[in-house]
Amino acid sequence: MTAPSLLLEDVTRVHGTGETAVRALDGVSLEVMPGELVAVMGPSGSGKSTLLNLAGGLDLATSGRVVIEGEDLSTLGAKGIAQLRRRRVGFVFQDYNLIPSLTAAENVGLPLELDGVRASQARRQARQTLDLMGLRDLSDRFPDQMSGGQQQRVAIARALVGSRRLVLADEPTGALDSHTGEDVLRVLRERCDEGVAGLLVTHEARHAAWADRVVFLRDGVVVDSTGRASSPEDLLATGSSR
């Protein structure tokens, strides 16, 4: 049986202590399988960002387990978590976070270089990733020579360069118009269709609908989930489709 790329087991995160303690997440369990894109929705303050930070090892759970590709984060030290983050997890943010003085290929290759890969090899792998995602034309462009949508697609390439197969996206379409946002989601969807696992935080239902399932958070608790998707055959058999 395939192991989940990301597993959260009864995860709780409490900020502060005593009277002022706030439970940002409370007993959340969630798994994301390879090839699956899961969207997290919920109102402001519901714990979406906390969930993403815990899933990416940027924050540690007060209790419960966070497991990335079989590695329990609580058993790794700070160094181990940092290494796991560099090698296994890619982040995509609302504001792209590309380095302005580097070309697209250099930006995409940067995580590999930070992990000790030689610059030439990192650049080669970066170009391969950009090619694979149909972004070859952008390789030598600097961020200010690209549109927002192009920058975000490059950011997704950066999140997935090398051996990383888990992408955590925090409102990746937040700064984009409707059509461009859709292009970005399509790229993310295609990567997941090819085996990458994705966790997408969004407040837009229309964007969450690109995921295989949607998990609702409210007050730090998972209150509902849409369940796994219907097959295309089922969809074609419904009354609202042909």
Partner 1 sequence: MSVKQGLMALLADGPMYGAQLRAEFEDRTGGTWPLNVGQVYTTLARLERDGLVEPTGEADGEGRISYRLTQAGTEEVGTWWTTPVDRDSTPRDELTIKLALAVTVPGVDVQAVAQTQRTATLKHLHDLTRLKQQVMRKQREAEGAPSGPADAAKHDEGNHDLAWLLVLENLIFTAEAEVRWLDHVETRLHRESLRPFRRSGAHTTALPDDAGDHAGTRTEARR
The residues of the shown chain that bind partner 1, judged by CB under 8 A, are 19-23, 43-46, 186, 189, 204-206, 208-211, 213-214, 216, 218-220, 223-227, 229-230, 232, 235-236, 238-242
CB of 26 vs partner 1, minimal distance in Å:
9
- Rank residues 141 and 218 by Cβ distance to partner 1 and give the closer one: 218
CB of 219 vs partner 1, minimal distance in Å:
4
CB of 230 vs partner 1, minimal distance in Å:
6
CB of 206 vs partner 1, minimal distance in Å:
4
- Rank residues 14 and 102 by Cβ distance to partner 1 and give the closer one: 14
- Rank residues 118 and 206 by Cβ distance to partner 1 and give the closer one: 206
- Rank residues 68 and 188 by Cβ distance to partner 1 and give the closer one: 188
- Rank residues 101 and 238 by Cβ distance to partner 1 and give the closer one: 238
CB of 190 vs partner 1, minimal distance in Å:
10
- Rank residues 21 and 99 by Cβ distance to partner 1 and give the closer one: 21
CB of 79 vs partner 1, minimal distance in Å:
33
Q: How far is CA 235 from CA 189, 226, 228, 232, in A?
A: 18, 15, 13, 5
Residues 175-212, buried b or exposed e (16+ Cβ, 10 A)? bbeeebbbbbbebbbebbeeebbbbbbbebeebbebbb
